[in-house]
């Protein structure tokens, strides 16, 4: 019996998760099918869509924009990292129960530290956005002991609420876009979904240093508009999209579901090759 999995979101047509999980399944000899499914909230609710997938025999799903906070509310039980994140990107279905987890943070931290070779320890980090995607990365990032973290968001209050959630000796400051501190940061992470629409967070390029790593959690075949903006304003900075994070978080979800941890670098390279125009 082939096991069924999926990723749900809106938009979802761009998702490479089905390709990634197919490559994982081939690599580890697992019998499964993984699909990308659109949830249109004009036609249904997130809760009804998930109930329908459970009724149809799905074993688990990944959750992407904009449903990670809905998933947190819907889960019957949560992992410790999902509880801290207040966001869920992975559901497991068993005996009528929905177990929620969050693998985003592990995916991001591993990609930046191991694949990009940029340790967080003692570094100044700027995070753009305060939604579900950012909530998922905060705890694993803070565990890497950065020197300071500044969270900027369209509404300052939402950034402040997120920053206040974590008990840590690491300085966490927050602001809206306009009041980001006027100094350079070592690592700048775009956790907004603006790149999906070809848009930019309205921030000042003075945050860019010559050796900054500029990281967009979104990804595409071409450099995202955020990566292009960074290189136009600071040509020597290092830019990176979120494909490595995507593969890393997918590998963790695959391990939760199947008990097998796939090797990721070959999959990153293969997906990068296949998405080139």
Under DSSP, is residue 90 helix (H, G, I), strand (E, B) or coil?
A: strand
Per-residue DSSP letter, 242:
T
**Predicted TM-score of the model (pTM):** 0.86
Strand ranges in 144-226 using DSSP code E only, listed in sequence order? 148-152, 172-175, 185-190, 208-216
Query: Does residue 55 register a pLDDT over 90?
Result: yes
The more confident residue out of 133 and 30 is 30
Q: d(Cα 274, Cα 277) in Å, to the nearest integer? A: 8
Question: In this predicted structure, what is the pLDDT of residue 5?
Answer: 98
Query: Does residue 18 register a pLDDT over 90?
Result: yes
Question: In this predicted structure, what is the pLDDT of residue 133?
Answer: 84
Question: In this predicted structure, what is the pLDDT of residue 98?
Answer: 98
Question: In this predicted structure, what is the pLDDT of residue 150?
Answer: 98
Question: In this predicted structure, what is the pLDDT of residue 14?
Answer: 85
Per-residue DSSP letter, 114:
I
Q: What is the mean pLDDT of residues 38-57?
A: 97
What sections of 122-259 are H helices per DSSP?
A: 132-142, 156-163, 225-233, 243-258
Query: Does residue 203 register a pLDDT over 90?
Result: yes
Question: In this predicted structure, what is the pLDDT of residue 123?
Answer: 98
Q: Which two tokens stand for residue 19?
A: 């390709």
Question: In this predicted structure, what is the pLDDT of residue 65?
Answer: 86
Nearest CA among 194, 236, 245, 235 for reference residue 215:
245
Average of per-residue pLDDT values in the chain: 95
Catalytic residue from among 68, 144, 157, 199: 68
Q: Which of 30-44, 159-173, 192-206 has the lowest mean pLDDT?
A: 192-206
- How many CB atoms are closer than 10 A to CB 150? 22
Percent of the chain with pLDDT over 90: 87
Question: In this predicted structure, what is the pLDDT of residue 124?
Answer: 98
Nearest CA among 44, 55, 33, 57 for reference residue 10:
44
Burial (Cβ within 10 Å: 0-12, 13-18, ≥19) of residue 272: middle
Question: In this predicted structure, what is the pLDDT of residue 48?
Answer: 97
Query: Does residue 244 register a pLDDT over 90?
Result: yes
For residue 270, what pLDDT band results from cuts at 50, 70 and 90? Answer: very high
Active site residue 266: no
The more confident residue out of 263 and 93 is 93
With a CB cutoff of 8 Å and minimum separation 6, the contacts of 148 are 124, 125, 170, 171, 172, 173
Judge whether 173 and 164 are in contact, CB under 8 Å.
no
Under DSSP, is residue 248 helix (H, G, I), strand (E, B) or coil?
A: helix
Query: Which tens digits make up the pLDDT trace of 170-197?
Result: 999 999 999 999 999 999 999 998 888 8
Query: Does residue 225 register a pLDDT over 90?
Result: yes
Cα 25 to the center of its chain, rounded Å: 21
């Amino acid at each position: 019996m082939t096991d069924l999995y999926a990723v749900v979101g809106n938009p979802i047509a761009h998702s490479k998760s089905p390709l990634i999980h197919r490559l994982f399944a081939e690599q580890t000899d697992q019998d499964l099918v993984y699909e990308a499914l659109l949830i249109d909230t004009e036609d249904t609710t997130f809760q009804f869509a998930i109930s329908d997938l459970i009724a149809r025999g799905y074993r688990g799903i990944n959750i992407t924009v904009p449903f990670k906070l809905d998933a947190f509310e819907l889960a019957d039980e949560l992992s410790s990292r999902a509880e801290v994140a207040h966001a869920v990107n992975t559901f497991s279905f068993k005996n009528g129960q929905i177990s929620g987890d969050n693998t985003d943070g592990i995916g991001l931290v591993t990609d930046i530290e191991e694949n990009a070779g940029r340790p967080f320890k003692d570094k100044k980090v700027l995070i753009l956005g305060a939604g579900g995607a950012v909530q998922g990365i905060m705890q694993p990032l803070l565990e890497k002991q950065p020197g300071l973290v500044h969270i900027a968001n369209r509404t300052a209050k939402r950034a402040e609420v997120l920053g206040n959630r974590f008990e840590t000796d690491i300085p966490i400051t927050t602001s809206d876009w306009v009041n980001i501190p006027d100094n350079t940061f070592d690592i700048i992470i775009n956790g907004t979904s603006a790149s999906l629409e070809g848009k930019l967070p309205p921030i000042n390029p003075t945050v860019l240093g010559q050796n900054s790593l500029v990281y967009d959690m979104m990804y595409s075949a071409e450099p995202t508009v955020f990566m292009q903006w960074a290189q136009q304003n600071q040509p020597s900075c290092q830019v990176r999209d979120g494909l490595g994070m995507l593969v890393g978080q997918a590998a963790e979800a695959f391990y939760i579901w199947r008990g097998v941890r796939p090797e990721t670098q070959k999959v990153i390279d293969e997906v990068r090759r296949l998405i080139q125009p």
